[in-house]
Amino acid sequence: MRAKGIPFLNEKGTGDLIVKVMVEIPRKLSRAQRELVGQLAESLAVDNKPASPSLIEKMKDLFN
């Protein structure tokens, strides 16, 4: 995150903040857990669909 890090020493401004997010996705869910995840998905008003692939990603797919 640009300019959200710690201040520079003897200079004006701040450095960049680097964030690492680690997400664990369970491989197996019980029936009750699957139902709860379904209920959560229905209750979310946010559209959680991935963005369409960029031009470079499409070109990579063509050559692979």
User: Whole-angstrom Cα distance, residue 35 to residue 11?
Assistant: 54
Cα dihedral 46, 52, 56, 61 sign:
positive
User: Rounded to two decimals, what is the model's pTM?
Assistant: 0.40
Q: What six digits make up the tokens of 45?
A: 């008003």
Q: What does DSSP assign to residue 9?
A: T
Q: Across the 64 residues of the chain, what is the mean pLDDT of every consecutive 10-residue run?
A: 87 91 90 92 75 78 79
C-alpha closest to that of 36 among 26, 50, 46: 26
